[in-house]
Amino acid sequence: MTSVRNSRADVVAAAGRLFAERGYHGTSMRDLGRELGLFGSSLYSHVDSKEDLLVEVIEKGAALFQASADRAADAGEGAEAKLHAFIAGHIDVVLDHEDEARTYLNEARVLDDRRRTAVIDARDRYEHALRKILNEGASEGTFDSDLDSSLTSIFILSVLNAVERWYSPDGRLDRAELVSAVEGFCRKALGSGA
């Protein structure tokens, strides 16, 4: 049976939930305490500051996306398989870790310069991983050879990052259908296949 008392991880998870839903500035420490059945001040038994919570949630999000990109880079042979893994992996992160993903994607602007820059760098690395797959496909002949991988990766990420904004698991698409819809759309835009 799980303990009645809360752990630091519980606090971070609840923070992710509220930051994702209402935003960092829209969430007070008292709100967050209420979410856990605590007083706001009691959170300081687990955490040094509100900002630390944001940092931790965002770092979790960043790590999840990066791990997914790393896995995609090693997924099977050829750009087609890697692209599939990249898209499916991204959607898994968004659906299985919605709070961390949304906070990572939407609340980074609150961070101080140093940390915000770190997030931007992480996003660049993530985009670069996708670009690499696109370039591989272009030189293989899997995708159009004149494809602009820099712009195209931005467009594909635009579609992927927006999933959080409209998709509901209660809707007409299950996860596999969502993945194949996104993949189908992007795949056609990449060309070269029939």
Partner DNA sequence: TTCCGAATAACGATCGTTCGTTATTATGGC
Partner DNA sequence: GCCATAATAACGAACGATCGTTATTCGGAA
Which runs of consecutive H residues, i.e. helices, occur in 7-148?
A: 8-22, 29-35, 50-73, 78-96, 98-106, 113-140
Structure tokens given for 17: 């939930």
Stretch that binds DNA, among 28-36, 65-73, 105-113, 155-163 (CB under 7 A): 28-36
Q: Which of DNA, its own copies, none does residue 188 bind to, with CB < 5 to 8 Å depending on kind? A: its own copies
Site membership for DNA, residue 23 (CB under 7 A): no
- Residue 135 contacts residue 149 (beta carbons within 8 Å): yes
Stretch that binds its own copies, among 8-16, 37-45, 74-82, 161-169 (CB under 8 A): 161-169
Binding DNA by CB under 7 A: which of 21, 22, 30, 177?
30
Structure tokens given for 20: 């994702």
Site membership for its own copies, residue 25 (CB under 8 A): yes
Question: Could you give the count of Cα atoms lying within 13 Å of 57 in the half-sphere of its Cβ?
Answer: 34
Q: Which of its own copies, DNA, none does residue 51 bind to, with CB < 5 to 8 Å depending on kind? A: DNA
Amino acid at 177: E
Identify the CA nearest to 53 among candidates 99, 122, 88.
99
Identify the CA nearest to 106 among candidates 50, 161, 28.
161
Stretch that binds its own copies, among 3-11, 17-25, 47-55, 62-70 (CB under 8 A): 17-25
As measured in angstroms, the least distance from the Cβ of 106 to its own copies is 8
As measured in angstroms, the least distance from the Cβ of 8 to DNA is 6
**Site residues (CB under 7 A) for DNA, limited to 39-78:** 39-46, 48-51
Identify the CA nearest to 102 among candidates 152, 161, 36.
161
**Site residues (CB under 8 A) for its own copies, limited to 92-131:** 106, 109-110
Please give the Cα distance from 50 to 70 (Å, whole number).
Answer: 31
As measured in angstroms, the least distance from the Cβ of 6 to its own copies is 26
Which residues make up the interface to DNA (CB under 7 A)?
3-8, 27-31, 33, 36-46, 48-51
